[in-house]
Structures are given as C-alpha cells and as structure tokens.
Amino acid sequence: MLSRPALFFATLLAAALGVAPLAARAGAQAEEALAQSVVTVLSRAISDRPVPADWESHTDAQAFVETMSRRLASRVPDEAERRELLRSVHYEATRAGLDPQLVLAVIHHESGFKKYAVSIADARGYMQVMPFWARVIGAPEHNLFHLRTNLRYGCVILRHYLDREGGDLYRALGRYNGSLGRPEYPTAVMAAMQRYAPGAAPVAIGVSVGLPVVR
C-alpha cells in the first residue's frame, strides 16, 4: 500500500499525464476545538432544508443547470442524476454564500464527481467530508453519502473556513483539504473554477486542469 505522500504524488503524476486517478484526492481536514457559539452557528447552518421545487425556475439557477449539465455529461452520464446534483450544488452554494462554480471545482478535485468516493483519510462523498463533522456539528446518523447532506456539510464547512480566514479563499481551500500552507490544492481548485466558468471548454474525463502560476 502506498504511503500518503506517495499516493499524493502518484495522483499528481496521473493528472499531469491526463489519467483520471481512481482514489479520491481529499486530504484530512483537521478536527479542531470549536467555540460553542461556532458549533451552534454551524449546527443551525446544516439544518436540513430540501431544494425548493421551483428552484430551477430561477433564472440564474436554470442557466447554471442547463450549461453545466451539458458540460458534465461525460462525468455523470445519467441526466436525471446530473441535474439533481447541479440543482443541489447551486442551492447549497447559494445558501452558504459561495460561488456554485467554486463548489463544482472542489467536487472535481475532491471526488471526481463520485458520490461514494472515500479517501485514505476516510473523507466521504462528493465534497469529501470528514466523519467527525457529523459528531461535532450534526448527528452521528447523518449519512455523508447522501447527496444533499454531503453538499450541505461541505458548503457549510468551506464557508466556515472562508470566514475564519477573513475571506482568503486560498487559505480556506488549504484548510478544507487539510493542506494549509501548500500550494497544490488551492491552486488547482482555482484553476478548475475557470474550467467551469460559462463559455469554457467542456470538462472531459481524464483531462487534467492546468495549474496557474502562484504569485
């Protein structure tokens, strides 16, 4: 079995060669002591609210779902599943005050759009949420492989890290991936955001995302 550093560099090499890695790419989000006030706020934020039935009728949501559905067809072949994923991404991202393109970019790198992905650190689902979060801010019975539950947790956690870092997306992404201080993950996610921007080329399986120069 490869060590974590070896697996990490093997994944990077696979991406560089244009080969889609089989394992999820998530790092290990660190479990940290949170003030009770923070726990209360996060617990309220993950309270379950289904995607409103008319959500896709909103102009921005409709455009997002239509555009991204075409572009993600090779990654999520089933159209109904793909549209449900995109509706949920748009709703949960908007609810958390995040850019839906950012959430797609995180999913791209964390799980490769695999609903049941599990990392070597035991992070789970689309957004590779660590199980300790259910115990800290949710409930042990919360299923992190459930679409809406996973996206709700992932978006709330990323929003928490973004607030903690004073809006510094680069550092927030590092915390989310458990790689704070290292450039690879936040740089790659920011690059992927451009790939999911309207008008960009469709995202194909096995095509790596180029990394911009970090300044």
For 132-160, write each residue's pLDDT tens digit: 999 999 998 999 999 999 999 999 999 99
For 52-93, what is each residue's pLDDT tens digit? 888 878 888 999 999 999 999 999 999 999 999 999 999 999
In the chain, the domains with their CATH numbers are 32-195 (1.10.530.10)
**Cα dihedral sign, 118-26-91-188:** negative
User: Which residues does 78 contact at the CB level (< 8 Å), separation at least 6?
Assistant: none
For 35-55, what is each residue's pLDDT tens digit? 888 888 888 888 877 888 888
CA–CA distance, 56 with 80 (Å, rounded to integer): 13
**Average pLDDT in the 160-184 region?**
94
Q: Give the Cβ contact number of residue 85 at 10 Å.
A: 24
Q: Give the Cβ contact number of residue 101 at 10 Å.
A: 21
Q: What is the pTM of this model?
A: 0.78
